[in-house]
A and B are shown apart, each in its own frame.
Chain A
């Protein structure tokens, strides 16, 4: 694990603490609750995206899948399903979309960039169709409380969704580091031909990777719905780029073989703290956009420099 992302996070927090009129407020538990609740959606997506990027792939359909699965959970809730099945429905639909992506990549031999670019359009369209081009209001259930800023009961400290994301991040890190599946994800990202020559069923593995990541994107969609307290088919446009940015800031390489869950989580937090900080400063959103853009480029450039020094 490299120090870069941690230093970046520390720098962002320090920056806003120094700028803030009331540092105590900025560093308060209350503000941390706000940031963590805001991070859940990107963080869950980044767990799935880390697997995909480590394996040498990419998924551009995340934003659309978040909208679609949010709509699915909202529609089923409205139709009278009890909360748990409705939540599972959203997650499973996310997984199915991932499996379809994986099959298109492996069976139809379409590059992941293109396959998921297609899915970006398809999933968004289906979400609008399903929702009849409107937002879907949902009855008041515990699903709506998953990503709230102030959880009930208060001893949870942060939203239940934050705990879920944390737990899943730990599980995903263990799976990537300590299971045959996880090491093979690294292997095909590092050298797919070699992995295949060693008897790794690379095509099946990819379908699994996109499918598992899809489940996480589905859960991310449920969290999105929970925050809005309605299913909105036009939500999360461009979220995939936030998710990819989190992975890349955290040390993931788009050419595969590199990346870590911890790094991606830090990457997601860096962006969340930046947004939160500039909101508190009352800066217009374009400032955040410029700063996040600069950070992505600097993070990757710094990583590249470090690497070329290491090889000399």
Chain B
């Protein structure tokens, strides 16, 4: 169907792609696997004409294929569904689906045909309830994803490229998306599917190609390849054990006590305690109130009821004063890395030291060399790949950005770490480094609360676990008393 060979692309001094081959067979779903920064998104942008390769050839159904723009690619039947939702929220569903190829009659937009064509596609994919006249901004995220996919196929695309379409979706919507991908396949459409989640890829894809450092290093059929082989190809070394082994010594004093905290409507009742040296996991569905609970503990939102004690001293939860909470030794890692977790335009050094500038400043004057030294120390400890402490965080890959965010907690020397989805959307290599840092912090006597939607990581990292369901936190139990099935049962709240 679509064949890429010998694709090369460099941006200034950086080699993004250094010889990539990929063969997409007709009516198949092809998984494109690789760490962040391996070149997956660059490759997709080339396939869809947004970038021009420096070398290499592409062919579509046997013919030479060299799109000069996304419009060219669409005309040829190749469509890309973007990593970030790329819809115009002020416009209607129909306008978004037909954007770039709006039907006209006598110079005016043909609204009837617009609605009809949009409704046709929506119905074809069993989403007739999504009315073409709805404003996209009023739709839930999952419905927007449907609009995005319909836009890709309205032009009768024969090849659909999907760049991490599930990174912001809860599980139920992931299932719906997969059903859609299968329906596309049954209509004879071939897809390339990019995701970090191997389990997910196995559900939906047949073939795969692994990218590493801009090269295609392994390809074949997923059914005959093990996860270990895939991971080894991705990171270039075999990851014996993704999760660090640590001595689970008896936990020490209680660091953080939470009693019947409520912050309606998201959080109705949460109680737990964290001791020195332990990792407490919090599982639950997206939207169960886990993030909101952490935000209350950090003082970003107000609590309506309940008590929170840090090392025995009560903190005011009704006041929402994050600076006071941080000063008590609580460190917070937001799940929203780009908006809340980091200031992307500032340097790595500023991001790492900003919660404790005092360590490198006198009378408000920051000693740049001391700041750089402290930042470099943290960068080494976490293996942050950057040119130096002065590099803007914006220019780092997702995994490295997350390491910078965690480095800030280390630099803050917070005793209590509240981590919200600490490995969301990052590559396996970075995940391993973040797991190591968390394990090390626990061994040093810190108390860690880890919210995650990824069960293997909760089971791999935590000493004890609680499950949040519709705002209520279950009792905390040792990890050995949980199984994935029990967690799921508690999360659904049956």
Contact = CB atoms under 8 A, between A and B. Distances in A.
B100 A191 contact: no
Contacts of B419: none
A186 B99 CA distance: 11
Contacts of A198: 70-71, 74, 99-101, 151
B interface: dominant SS: loop
Given A180-B102, A180-B104, A183-B109, A197 B88 contact: no
Interface in A156-195: 178-180, 182-184, 186-187, 189-191, 193-195
Contacts of A257: 88-90
- 3 nearest A-B residue pairs (beta carbon): A199-B71, A198-B100, A190-B88
B91 A187 contact: yes
What range describes how many residues of A lie at the interface? Answer: 20 to 34
A199 B71 CA distance: 4
Contacts of A187: 88, 91, 95, 99
Nearest to B101: A199
23 contacts: A179-B107, A180-B102, A182-B109, A183-B102, A183-B109, A186-B90, A187-B88, A187-B91, A190-B89, A191-B87, A194-B96, A194-B99, A195-B88, A196-B70, A197-B86, A198-B70, A198-B74, A198-B151, A199-B70, A200-B99, A200-B100, A257-B88, A257-B89
A101 to B, nearest CB: 24
A9 to B, nearest CB: 24
A178 B106 CA distance: 11
Contacts of B305: none
What range describes how many residues of B lie at the interface? Answer: 20 to 34
Interface in A125-184: 178-180, 182-184
Interface in B55-96: 69-71, 74, 80, 82, 86-91, 95-96
Interface in A16-34: none
A258 interface: yes
Interface of B: 50, 69-71, 74, 80, 82, 86-91, 95-96, 99-102, 104, 107-109, 111, 151
Interface centre among A183, A193, A197, A200 (most CB of B within 10 A): A197
Contacts of A193: 86
Contacts of B80: 197
Contact of A178 (B70, B91, B109, B151): B109
Contact of B90 (A178, A182, A189, A196): A189
A255 to B, nearest CB: 10
Nearest to B108: A178
A184 B80 CA distance: 20
A113 to B, nearest CB: 18
Contacts of A184: 99
B370 to A, nearest CB: 36
Given A178-B109, A200-B100, 7 more contacts: A186-B91, A191-B87, A194-B88, A195-B99, A198-B100, A199-B69, A199-B100
A194 B90 contact: no
Contacts, number: 67
A200 B108 CA distance: 17
Nearest to B50: A197
A197 B70 contact: yes
A193 B96 CA distance: 13
Interface string A273-302: 000000000000000000000000000000
Contact of A190 (B50, B91, B104, B108): B91
A184 B104 CA distance: 13
A187 B151 CA distance: 14
A195 B87 CA distance: 8
B308 to A, nearest CB: 26
Contacts of B104: 179-180
Contacts of B111: 178
Nearest to B98: A198
Interface in A254-276: 257-258
Contacts of A194: 82, 86-88, 96, 99
A190 to B, nearest CB: 4
Nearest to B74: A199
Contacts of A182: 109
A179 B106 CA distance: 10
A68 B82 CA distance: 45
B91 A183 contact: yes
Nearest to B92: A183
B132 to A, nearest CB: 14
Interface centre among B50, B69, B109 (most CB of A within 10 A): B109
Nearest to A253: B90
B95 A179 contact: no
Contacts of B102: 180, 183
A191 B109 contact: no
A186 B137 CA distance: 13
B341 to A, nearest CB: 22
Given A199-B101, A200-B100, A180 B88 contact: no
Nearest to A188: B88
Interface centre among B71, B74, B90, B107 (most CB of A within 10 A): B90
A299 to B, nearest CB: 19
Nearest to A193: B86
A184 B90 CA distance: 11
Contacts of B95: 183, 187
